Structure 1
Amino acid sequence: MPFDLSPRPLNPAPVTPAMVWPNGAKSALFIGFDVDAETAWIGNNPSNVDRMVTTSHGGYDARVGISKIVSLMDELSLPATFFIPGWTALAHPAQCEAILKAGHEIGHHGYLHKLPDRDKLDEAFEEIDRGYEALQQVLGVRPIGYRAPSGENFPELLAYLSKSGMRYSSSFRDDILPYRHADHGGERGLVEIPVNFAFDDWNFGMTSRTSSRPIFGRDAVLQMWIDEFEATHAWGGVTTLVLHPQVSGRPMRWHLLRDFLMHVQSRTDVWIATGAEISDHFDALEAARAEL
Structure 2
Amino acid sequence: MALTIDFDAEELWLAEDPANAARPGVLSQARYGAEVAVPQLLNMLKRLGIPATFFVCGGDAERYPAIVESVAAHGHEIGHHGFTHRSPHLMERDQEVEELDRGLSVLRSFQDRIMGYRSPSWDISPNTLDLLVENGFSYSSNMMDAIFPYPHPRHDLVEIPVHWSLDDAPHFWFDATSWDRTIRSSREVAELWGEESSAIHEEGGLVTLTVHPQIIGRPGRLRMLEAFLTGMRSDDRIWFARCHEVASAVRDSAAAARA
Change (3 A) 1:198 1:267: same
Distance 2:83 2:91 in 1: 18
Partner of 1:80: 52
Q: Deviations over 1:123-173 (max 9, x none)?
A: 111111100011123x14331011111211133211111110101011111
Q: 1 CA distance for matches of 2:16 and 2:163?
A: 23
Paired with 1:279 and 1:257, the residues of 2 have a C-alpha distance of: 25
Segment drifting more, 207-216 vs 29-38: 207-216
Q: Which amino acid in the other structure matches residue 87 of structure 1? A: G
Name the counterpart of 2:184: 216
User: How do residues 32-43 of structure 1 correspond to structure 2 at under 5 angstroms?
Assistant: 32-43=4-15
CA contact (8 A) 2:78 2:111 kept: no
- How high is the TM-score relative to the length of structure 2? 0.96
Q: Distance in 1 between matches of 2:10 and 2:45?
A: 23
2:39 pairs with one of 47, 64, 67: 67
Paired with 1:64 and 1:133, the residues of 2 have a C-alpha distance of 26
The letter for the 2-side match of 1:189 is D
How far off is 1:182 after superposition?
A: 2.9
Q: How big is each residue's C-alpha offset from its partner over 1:223-274, in whole Å with a ceiling of 9 and x where there is no partner?
A: 1111111101101100001110111111011011111101111111111100
Q: CA separation in 2, counterparts of 1:140 and 1:278?
A: 18
Corresponding residue for residue 169 of structure 2: 202
Moved more, 150-159 or 247-256: 150-159
SS at match of 2:88: coil
Whether the 8 Å CA contact 1:44–1:115 is kept in 2: the answer is no
Match of 2:82 among 106, 110, 130: 110
Cα distance in 2 for partners of 1:118, 1:249 equals 29
Aligned to 1:159: 130
Q: How many residues align?
A: 258
In 2, Cα distance between equivalents of 1:278 and 1:256: 25
Q: Name the structure where helix makes up a greater proportion of residues.
A: 2
Task: Select the residue among 205, 221, 229 that pairs with 1:261.
Answer: 229
| 3-state SS of paired residue (2:84) | coil
Q: Is the 8 A contact 1:201 1:242 kept in 2?
A: yes
**Structure 2 spans left out of the alignment, 5+ residues:** none
In 2, distance between residues paired with 1:53 and 1:80? 30
**CA shift for structure 1 position 44:** 4.1
Structure 2 CA distance, aligned partners of 1:141 and 1:90?
A: 16
Give the gaps of 5 or more residues in structure 1.
Answer: 1-28
| C-alpha distance in 1 between matches for 2:34 and 2:208 | 24
**Contact 1:85/1:110 (<8 A) preserved:** yes
Identity %: 37
The alignment's C-alpha RMSD in Å is: 1.2
How has the CA–CA distance of structure 1 residues 180 and 118 changed in structure 2, closer, same or farther, with 3 Å as cutoff?
A: farther
1:47 maps onto 2:14 in alignment: no
- The offset of 1:196, in angstroms, is 2.2
Q: Secondary structure at the match of 2:228?
A: helix
Residue 171 of structure 1, aligned match among 135, 139, 142: 142
Deviation of the 1:118 alpha carbon: 6.1
Which one-letter code corresponds to 2:161 in the other structure?
P
For residue 51 of structure 1, what is the amino acid of its counterpart? R
Superposed CA deviations along residues 89-138 of structure 1, whole A, max 9, x for unmatched, are: 1000011111000010111100011111265111111111100011123x
SS state at 1:271 partner: coil
SS at match of 2:50: coil
Matched, 1:286 2:239: no
SS of the residue corresponding to residue 177 of structure 1 reads: coil
